[in-house]
Amino acid sequence: MKGRLALHTCCAPCATYVNRFFEKEGLAVVNVFYNPNIHPVDEYERRRITLESYIAQIGGELRIPFPYDPREFFALSLDLAKRCRLCYALRLRRVAQWAREQGFSAFSTTLTISPYQDVVGILEVGEQIGKEMGIPFIGVDFRSGFPESVRMAKEFNLYRQKYCGCIMSYWEGVKKRIWKSLTGQGFSSL
């Protein structure tokens, strides 16, 4: 593969392995940070600053083409059952449109490295948006690289968050940790 890849990047730890993978494939990676789902604003800033630091350390390229506006996410997230897919679509559509306008060869995302995400859903949404926007989506299931991304994040001393970004995922994580501390076991739902 050759060309410039607009890589939707959710955070620095996820970017570690994925950047290395695409660079080995011969693509010039430009990380694109667009994540209106991240809440609260302090968390957004912490992730942005960590990503900027990491990209500077590796001599990579980062673009933040859109201002932080969580209202974009909140407007879509009223349907809790569909919020993740709607969030994937919001972010990938905006990055795909920007990538096409900027003349990139393709776009992709770091989201598929997380074992906590709906990887099949992400890949389906990315493919659909790529076809709609007329720009190839390079969909890769990176979950096998998750342990290496954790190791690399520690090596680079990167902040690692405990939730995907939205306030609902934060709340779900807190519930699970409280339940586990009280019972010593996980739960399917509360």
Angle (CA) 40 121 83, round 5°: 35
Closest by Cα among 34, 15, 102, 109 to 72: 34
pTM: 0.88
pLDDT score, position 125: 98
SS3 73: helix
175, pLDDT greater than 60: yes
189, pLDDT greater than 60: no
- pLDDT tens-digit readout, 99-122: 999 999 999 999 999 998 999 999
Average pLDDT over residues 25-49: 95
83, pLDDT greater than 80: yes
- pLDDT tens-digit readout, 125-149: 999 999 999 999 999 999 999 999 9
Full strand arrangement of the beta sheet holding 61-63: 61-63, 27-32, 3-8, 106-109
CA distance 77 to 86: 7
Strands 106-109 and 61-63 turn out to be: unpaired
pLDDT score, position 99: 98
190, pLDDT greater than 50: no
Task: Please report, for the chain, the start and end positions of each structural domain, with discontinuous segments joined by +.
Answer: 3-183
CA distance 112 to 119: 5
184, pLDDT greater than 80: no
Name the more confident of 84 and 167: 84
Percent of the chain at pLDDT > 90 equals: 73
For residue 185, give the DSSP letter: S
Beta partners for residue 151, in sequence order? none
CA distance 143 to 119: 9
For residue 109, give the DSSP letter: E
**Cβ(108)–Cβ(137) below 8 Å:** yes
**Cβ(100)–Cβ(94) below 8 Å:** no
pLDDT score, position 161: 87
Return the CATH fold of 3-183.
Rossmann fold (3.40.50)
- pLDDT tens-digit readout, 62-81: 999 999 999 888 877 666 66
pLDDT score, position 181: 76
